Amino acid sequence: MDKYRKVFKPREETVKAEEEIRVTAAGSVSAYVSRAATVFNELNKPFVIVQASGNALTKAVTAAEVIKRRFKGLHQITEIKSVEIVDEYEPLEEGLDKVMDTRSLPVIEIKLSK
C-alpha cells in the first residue's frame, strides 16, 4: 500500500434528534448519563436512544446500564447491526488501478423507554 493514497470523502452530516445520544470512545460515561437525565427530565421525552459504533460499543453498553440504574423501570430494546464502509485508494504511480477496500463496522443502538 506504499504506492497508494487514501481518497478522503466528505462526511455525510445527519441531523440527530434530541433524544439521541451518540457515544464516542473518547467521551465520558457521566456526560452521557447527564444528557439522558436532561432528555428525560427537562425535555420530557419518553425514550432515549444510545448509539455507538466500533470501539465505543462497550462504553455505550456501560452508559445504558448506568442510565437504567439511575432511572428505575426503563425498558430496553437493543439492535446490533453492521455497516459496510468502502475505502477508496488512488495510485501514486502510473499504470496502477484504483483499489476499493470494504470493511464491516459494528453498530449498536439501545433504546431506553419509560
Question: HEC string of 39-98?
Answer: HHHHCCCCEEEEEEEHHHHHHHHHHHHHHHHHCCCCEEEEEEEEEEEEEEEEECCCCCCC
CB 50 within 8 A of CB 64: yes
Each residue of 52-68: pLDDT tens digit?
A: 999 999 999 999 999 99
* pLDDT score at 34: 94
**Rounded to two decimals, what is the model's pTM?**
0.82
Among 37, 6, 4, 1, CA closest to 19: 37
20 bridge partner residues = 49
Q: Is the pLDDT of residue 29 over 90?
A: yes
